[in-house]
Amino acid sequence: MSAITFQNVSYAVEDRQLLTNITGSFEQGRITTLVGPSGAGKTTLLKLCNGLLSPTSGTITVQQKPIDTFVPTTLRQTVGMALQAAPMISGTVYDNLCLPKKLQRQTLSIEDAQKWLEDVHLPASLLTQQARDLSGGQRQRVSIARTLVNRSPILLLDEITSALDRTACREIETLIQKINDKYGTTIIWITHNLEQAMTIGHHTWVMMDGQLIEAGPSSLLETTTNEQIQAFVRGEAR
């Protein structure tokens, strides 16, 4: 079953076509990576998945329902997003974890906040720390924990490991695999790291110049007969 489906989706800003005729689906409970050269339209496509942008033409369904029939808050809750910069509000780690609940006029208990921190392998003592003092890796974990608070069945990740060193990157990879295993979360992950796409991703979408060039099992990055993709994998077009 598909978690998100694109049917002939195009997106343009003024007279610039950023995405052209994208058709494909993201399978429920699986990790799909989005790869392609800089400027290919990956982030734009991700923003269409949670309603930050709306398509110029075509249809997007989320859990079999047209995306434009969702109440915005329900959509944001269903489709969570974490970004490379992992933006934090000023205040403590706890304040940041409370944010999704606050937006729904609900509260998050200290016990629950501790549980989410444990889930991302951070000590409960970190709850009272100022978010601005977190290391890059810790910050990314808090950002991921903040999406877990919503129990989103679908998670969008935009280059969340790009600014991290190798060890922190590996830890986040393991964490995302754990979340996918434990909660069956559908994950759509933009990455520049093709090794990561092949080892962590079940499926891969290769995008170039606003188009979906190929989609399939991640092994396609090694087995593809498409010359453009072969050149991209060799590092000639990143």
Task: Using CB under 6 A, list all residues that contact ligand ATP.
Answer: 13, 16, 18, 36, 38-44
Q: Which does 41 bind (CB under 5 to 8 A by kind): ligand ATP, Mg ion, none?
A: ligand ATP
Distance of alpha carbon 198 from alpha carbon 217, whole angstroms: 9
Total Cβ atoms within 10 A of residue 11: 22
Q: Say how many residues touch Mg ion, by CB under 5 A.
A: 1
Distance of alpha carbon 137 from alpha carbon 182, whole angstroms: 21
DSSP state of 163: T
Measured between alpha carbons, how far is residue 194 from residues 17, 52, 190, 197 in Å?
26, 26, 10, 5
Decide whether 38 or 107 has the Cβ nearer to ligand ATP: 38
Q: Is 43 in the site for Mg ion (CB under 5 A)?
A: yes
Decide whether 37 or 80 has the Cβ nearer to ligand ATP: 37
Q: Which does 146 bind (CB under 5 to 8 A by kind): ligand ATP, Mg ion, none?
A: none
Q: CB of 114: closest distance to Mg ion in angstroms?
A: 33
Q: Which does 13 bind (CB under 5 to 8 A by kind): Mg ion, ligand ATP, none?
A: ligand ATP
Report the site for Mg ion in 93-122 (rule: CB under 5 A). none
Exposure of 87 by Cβ count < 10 A (0-12 exposed, 13-18 middle, 19+ buried)?
Answer: exposed
DSSP state of 94: H
Distance of alpha carbon 73 from alpha carbon 78, whole angstroms: 9
Decide whether 43 or 143 has the Cβ nearer to Mg ion: 43
Q: Which does 18 bind (CB under 5 to 8 A by kind): Mg ion, ligand ATP, none?
A: ligand ATP
Binding mask 45-84 for Mg ion (x = CB under 5 A): ----------------------------------------
DSSP state of 144: H
Closest-CA residue to 151 (of 201, 209, 196, 106): 106
Q: Is 44 in the site for Mg ion (CB under 5 A)?
A: no
Q: CB of 85: closest distance to Mg ion in angstroms?
A: 12
Q: Could you list the residues that contact Mg ion (CB under 5 A)?
A: 43
